[in-house]
Structure 1
Amino acid sequence: MNIMLVNWLKTLGNYLNFVEYLFLDFHIDLLSFEYFTKNCRANLKKWIIYIEGEEDLRKDYLKYVNNYQKVHNSLKILGINKGYMCEFNWTNDELEIINSLKDQSINIFPSDELDKC
């Protein structure tokens, strides 16, 4: 990942205080994503993340979203940008986290369906 992008994301996590809708339409390495979710102070209501090509790490990305929600309790909609014409076959571990998010009243959509929300 580009070092400027990593620094930008850390800065965003450190200083973002208020935003309700965030669309991160680019690959974010797992450590930067974790840093962002732990340090972001904004109470996001609608968040779109990009996890295409991270099949072995999807559970970890979802886990960090779930941890963020447990702290903020603000998310209403989570969009998952899975790339054009890609389908996920969720694992049982991933479905467990997704169900935890849904139990917290979060609607989860592929990002290409978010225009309906």
Structure 2
Amino acid sequence: MKTVAVCLGCLLAVTGCESTADRVQLNAQSLHSDAVDGAVLAGEIIAGRAGATFARAHAQELQDDTSQIEKNVYDQRLPRYDDLQQLADQIGAALGSMAVRPDDVSLAQSARSNLLRLADDAARMTS
């Protein structure tokens, strides 16, 4: 997932001719993807199929990606900047909690429901 976001970032930097609406959509899509991936990870934690080391590393990777998106949104001063930044911050917080306590099933359940809700919010921003 991180690779996809990096590729999208490179594409944006190279082309430089995409519209502002396209940049908003790409950032919202990346946030949606990170939220969905985080929800899947939380599901794996809940089911006992993700070891603590893997869960910590994957949650941290997703959180890092979300932080990078938040920085890009800030640097680009996109329309809906506040909405995108708030969404990135909330997704990052949910992922960060799983990175800190990767074997906490109760926390994973809460993070999963939050991430699914946030994924829906991001999806609405792309339409």
Q: TM-score, normalised by structure 1?
A: 0.39
Question: Greater share of strand residues, 1 or 2?
Answer: 1
Which is richer in helix? 2
Q: Which has the larger radius of gyration?
A: 2
Kindly indicate whether structure 1 or structure 2 has the higher relative contact order, using CA contacts under 8 Å at least 6 residues apart. 2
TM-score by length of 2: 0.36
